[in-house]
Every structure is written in C-alpha cells, then in structure tokens.
Structure 1
Amino acid sequence: MHMQTAPVHDHVCWGYQRRDEFTVPAWEFLADGLAAHERVLYVAPGDPELIAAQMRAAGPFDEGLRTGAVRISSADSTYATGAVVDPAGQVELYAAATAQALAEGYTGLRVAADVTPLVRTPAQLDAFARYEHLVDHFMAAHPMSAICGYDTAELGDETVAQLACMHPEARQVPAPFHLHGHTRDGSTAALAGELDMQARPLWPLALQRARLRPAGGSIAIDATDLTFIDHRSLFDIAGYAEDNDTTVVLRTRLSTPARLLELFGLTNVRVERV
C-alpha cells in the first residue's frame, strides 16, 4: 500500500522497530520527490553501495542514482560514534544542499534519514532535539522536506517522543503535542495537540530546547491547533517568559487559557483569540 506522503515543506518523525518499517515509507517518500523533480537524499547506517543496490531493486531510483538526482549518505561514515550534532551548523549544511539543488534545476530537496545513531546519548539527544526544531523553521520557508527515522526498539518510546514533539507530525510514535516552526501567521513557533498530564515530562524540555526568542518585544506562539492546555503548562510558559524577560503571546481558539491566566495572575503571558 502506498503511504500518504506529505507535500513539500513537511517534516515527519517516523518511529520504527524493524528496519523495513522505515525504509519502505522512506523510499516511497523519496520516489514522490523524484516525481516532483526534487533532488532526494537518503541517509542511513550501512554501506552506500549496498544501499544503492537495494534502492535500485525496490523503486524507481536507477536513473536518479546515475544522474545525481538521488544521493546516498552513510550515517556511519558521516558521523563519528558519539558525535553531538551542531544544531545551527547542521541546518546550514541542509540550507546549502537545498540551494545547490535549486541552482542545478531541481524544485527542492527531499531527505529521508535514519538518524538513530545521533541520539544515543543524553548530550546527543539534547542537541538533536534542538536541531529538529531549528531545521523545521528552515523547512517552513524553503523547498525542503524530510522524514526522520528513529528506532524505538533501541531508543525507547520516551526518547523518541522527545524528538517527535519537535516535528509538525509524527507517525508510529506517541506525541501528545508538537512545538515546531510551521506557523500560519509569522509567529515565533507553532504549538499543536494537547498539553495535559501525558505531556508533563515532555513539555518543559521541548520549550527549553526550542529556545524561542523575542521578536518585537514578545514571543508569539501560533497555538491555533492546540486543543487543550492545563495550568501547569501555562506556568511553564510564564516561567519561560520570566527567564527571558519577555511576554509570550498565545494565539489560540481556546477560551480556557485566558481564564486560567486571570485566575493565577500570570501577567507575562497574553492570549489572543483567533
């Protein structure tokens, strides 16, 4: 069955337990990119020659591998064991790859990457979660899309959930909320899902890793797709605003946040109903 792939600018976290649970949707995602005349890049552990042979057998990649429309990068050779990604530097690399693809006549860059080796230690996880948020901002404004694979059997659902929360969308892994860069209105970030007890261990981490910074004197969050927020999560937002000496503007359809803010006297968070 063909997966429902996302259009350009999408950024999907994909959890898997068997390798084919990622390779099948990843290669279909890349095949759709070829059909849209994008350059496609597959990043995964293993020998690139063996991966190329497997891709030739599994899909329409033969011509693209010859012409350079399809590129393969081995995570084993690209990243040293235990390497901690430089979030801003990694975004710059993908920005350069996107610009190169456009200069060579492609309509954009599409990436499928099994990045499990990059989140095995706490330091790696912290840096890569920050990177996922940063690169999502880049993808929101440029013709790059990506599907990011994480081995939940090796890493555990809790670890992968921390990464899933930094994507606009997640498949095969629970993510109670999404804090990401695809906004409707030029806000600093977007927030979707539910901030409830299930989100409790994840939300403060995600907020700190996103490192949202004021623009025009405040941090605006597009929370149009937020369906629930409890008072503890509002306290976290207020604490973040206080730590950064700013005001957070929550743009939401919900009526409860404004009542909670008034009830608890939280003055550094403001609600704008949309």
Structure 2
Amino acid sequence: MGSNVRGRAAADGTQRSVGVHVDGCGVGANDHASWAYSTDAERARLATAWVEEGLAAGRRAMYVGNGSLSSLIGELADVADLGARIEGGDLVVASADDVYDLRAPIDADQQLRVYAAAVDAAFEAGYLGLQVAADITVLVDDPERRLAHLHWEQVADRFISANPLSPLCLYDTRQIQGLDAIAAVHPLQGPGPPAFWVFGTGPRSASLRGEVDALSVDSLRDIFRTMPSTDVLDLSELTFVDGRVADTIHGELLRRRSHGDRIDLRGATTFVRRVWDLCGFDPELLGP
C-alpha cells in the first residue's frame, strides 16, 4: 500500500492524503493522521515535525498532551524560535485536560464545537488554518471510552474534510493495544500500512477502501456502529470482502435502519456484489 497518496479529492474538491504517513511529505490543510508510537523520543519527533509543517504552511500549530506544560514544551525544543512562536501565538501548547473532558467518554458534538472555535480563532488571527498534534492515549486507555472516541474521530474527520484543520493523533503502544478501528478512520496512518480505511470525502460522505477479512471485521463492525448517520459510504475502492464481512455489513445496515439511523451505500464493485449475492442479501441495500 506504499506511501501516502496526495491528490485524493473530497466531494467538494478538497485534496486529502490517504495512505501511510511519512514525515516531511507535506501536510495538507485537510489531512488527518494517526501514529502508533513506542518511545517518548518518537512522540517528540513526530509532534515536532507536524508542528513545524503547520507553521511553515502559515497555519497556527497546537500540541496537546498529557503532562505538565513545561514537559510538553520541552518535547518541542527543536522547533525553530520556539519561545517566540509560543509568545506570538503561532504555537499553542496545552494539557489534554484543558482541551478534553477526561471525566467521561468524549461527547462528539461538544468536542467539535471546541475545535471549530479554535479554527475560527486561527482564521481571525490571520492564519490559514489550524494544525494539531494531539496525544490521545489518555482519551482511549480505558476501553469503555473507545466506541465514543471512534464516533468522535469520524465526526471530526467529516468536518476536517471541508475545513482547514489538520490533526495528528498519537497513541502509546506501550500502554494500549487494540486501536485498529480508531486507526482505520484516519486517512493517513503510521508507522505501517493499514488493511483498510474509512475516511471522509465530504461533510456527509465517506469512502471504505482496502481489504477487510475475518481478522479486521470486528473493527469494521465498530466503525459502522459509530459512523455518522448522515454518511453516504462509497465502496468503489473496497477490493476484498468475505462472507463474514458481508454479513457484518448487512447486519449493521439493518440494525441501524431499525433504529431510524440510516447509512446509504454506493459504488459497490462487481466482486463485492457477487459475495453479497452469494450470501442471499437484498441487492438494493448496496445502493447504485
């Protein structure tokens, strides 16, 4: 699956990068990445690179993490003119509990208002957008919080697809495992290639891309369960499913519709339609 792909157009013409995130590849105003790090030095390096790219592009940069402000600022020591950047408002450093409510699972609508306001403030201050490196480890270390966070990431990604907010979501593999679903809803991922992606192509549209099999079907199920109900999901780049995956998609479509929470599909390939037909499912559920 190679390196990241520049030039994937969203529904409104916005360009997004999709694939494996590579440092220094050039972060677009609507890019959204995740990275599974394993050392403090790796986190500092990634946060520094993301922040520097945002500053170079004329965006306000922001670093959010769990810890004291002095320790977080220390991680960005390699940023040129660090003190002046912070003092002048080009770079904002914040503790996670100043940006997120850590007392309960994340409220997607409330959190979106926080970031939308931060984007507006960046514009009003003369910047071209907001670029954020955020360590989400503390947000997802409790498994009970993960489905809510998975919904938040998808809500945020649809917003990002049409607004100049470019976040890098970092998480510590020494503390948490099993975040495949959360990683999969980021168009850019690292350090390795994902099996599949679900990412926004517009405020009310998304694409399911790649290969989904029995090893990743549970992640796909959780993504469907937390997907925004406004989505139209394009399947034209879904290259492989098996019977269990088709059954999971079918079941989630019916479950959501039974609750008045509809997701529409479109663009299914001949291969996907063949598997769907072999399972005996209603072809109309796959859409046009």
Per the TM alignment, residue 63 of structure 1 is displaced from its structure 2 partner at its CA by 2.5
- Which residue of structure 2 lines up, in the alignment, with residue 144 of structure 1? 165
The residue correspondences of 1:146-165 to structure 2 (distance < 5 A) are 146-156=167-177, 158=178, 160-165=179-184
Q: CA–CA distance in 1 between the matches of 2:237 and 2:84? A: 41
Per the TM alignment, residue 54 of structure 1 is displaced from its structure 2 partner at its CA by 4.2
**Residue of 262, 270, 274 corresponding to 2:286:** 270
**Cα distance, 1:106–1:263 mapped onto 2, change above 3 Å:** same
- Which residue of structure 2 lines up, in the alignment, with residue 16 of structure 1? 37
Q: CA–CA distance in 2 between the matches of 1:226 and 1:31? A: 34
Q: CA–CA distance in 1 between the matches of 2:46 and 2:70? A: 20
User: Any conservation in 2 of the 1:161–1:174 contact (CA below 8 Å)?
Assistant: no
Q: CA–CA distance in 2 between the matches of 1:263 and 1:54? A: 54
Can you list the C-alpha shifts for 1:68-111, whole angstroms capped at 9, x where unaligned? Answer: 01001112555565542111111111011001111111000000
CA RMSD of aligned residues (A): 2.3
User: Any conservation in 2 of the 1:13–1:171 contact (CA below 8 Å)?
Assistant: yes
The residue correspondences of 1:200-215 to structure 2 (distance < 5 A) are 200-213=217-230
User: Any conservation in 2 of the 1:238–1:248 contact (CA below 8 Å)?
Assistant: no
1:255 paired with 2:270, answer yes
Q: CA–CA distance in 1 between the matches of 2:247 and 2:200? A: 22
Q: CA–CA distance in 2 between the matches of 1:271 and 1:195? A: 19
User: Any conservation in 1 of the 2:32–2:157 contact (CA below 8 Å)?
Assistant: yes
Per the TM alignment, residue 192 of structure 1 is displaced from its structure 2 partner at its CA by 1.3
Can you list the C-alpha shifts for 1:4-31, whole angstroms capped at 9, x where unaligned? Answer: 2431211111001112212212211111
**Residue of 62, 68, 79 corresponding to 1:59:** 79
User: Scaled by the length of structure 1, what TM-score is found?
Assistant: 0.86
Q: CA–CA distance in 2 between the matches of 1:141 and 1:197? A: 33
Say which is worse superposed, 83-92 or 103-112, in terms of deviation: 83-92
- Which residue of structure 2 lines up, in the alignment, with residue 176 of structure 1? 195
Per the TM alignment, residue 202 of structure 1 is displaced from its structure 2 partner at its CA by 1.1
The residue correspondences of 1:16-165 to structure 2 (distance < 5 A) are 16-55=37-76, 57-60=77-80, 61-76=82-97, 78-79=99-100, 82-156=103-177, 158=178, 160-165=179-184
Say which is worse superposed, 221-230 or 14-23, in terms of deviation: 221-230
User: Any conservation in 1 of the 2:62–2:133 contact (CA below 8 Å)?
Assistant: yes
Q: CA–CA distance in 2 between the matches of 1:15 and 1:22? A: 9
User: Scaled by the length of structure 2, what TM-score is found?
Assistant: 0.82
Per the TM alignment, residue 163 of structure 1 is displaced from its structure 2 partner at its CA by 1.1
User: Any conservation in 2 of the 1:192–1:227 contact (CA below 8 Å)?
Assistant: yes
- Which residue of structure 2 lines up, in the alignment, with residue 216 of structure 1? none
3-state secondary structure, aligned to 1:154 = coil
User: Any conservation in 1 of the 2:235–2:265 contact (CA below 8 Å)?
Assistant: no
User: Any conservation in 1 of the 2:210–2:239 contact (CA below 8 Å)?
Assistant: yes
**Cα distance, 1:72–1:255 mapped onto 2, change above 3 Å:** same
The residue correspondences of 1:190-209 to structure 2 (distance < 5 A) are 190-209=207-226
Say which is worse superposed, 195-204 or 139-148, in terms of deviation: 195-204
User: Any conservation in 1 of the 2:247–2:279 contact (CA below 8 Å)?
Assistant: no
User: Any conservation in 2 of the 1:224–1:251 contact (CA below 8 Å)?
Assistant: yes
User: Any conservation in 1 of the 2:106–2:145 contact (CA below 8 Å)?
Assistant: yes
**Residue of 164, 185, 189 corresponding to 2:206:** 189
Q: Which amino acid aligns with 2:195?
A: P
User: Any conservation in 1 of the 2:195–2:211 contact (CA below 8 Å)?
Assistant: yes
1:236 paired with 2:251, answer no
Q: Which amino acid aligns with 1:129?
A: L
What are the ranges of 5 or more consecutive residues in structure 2 without an aligned counterpart? 1-21
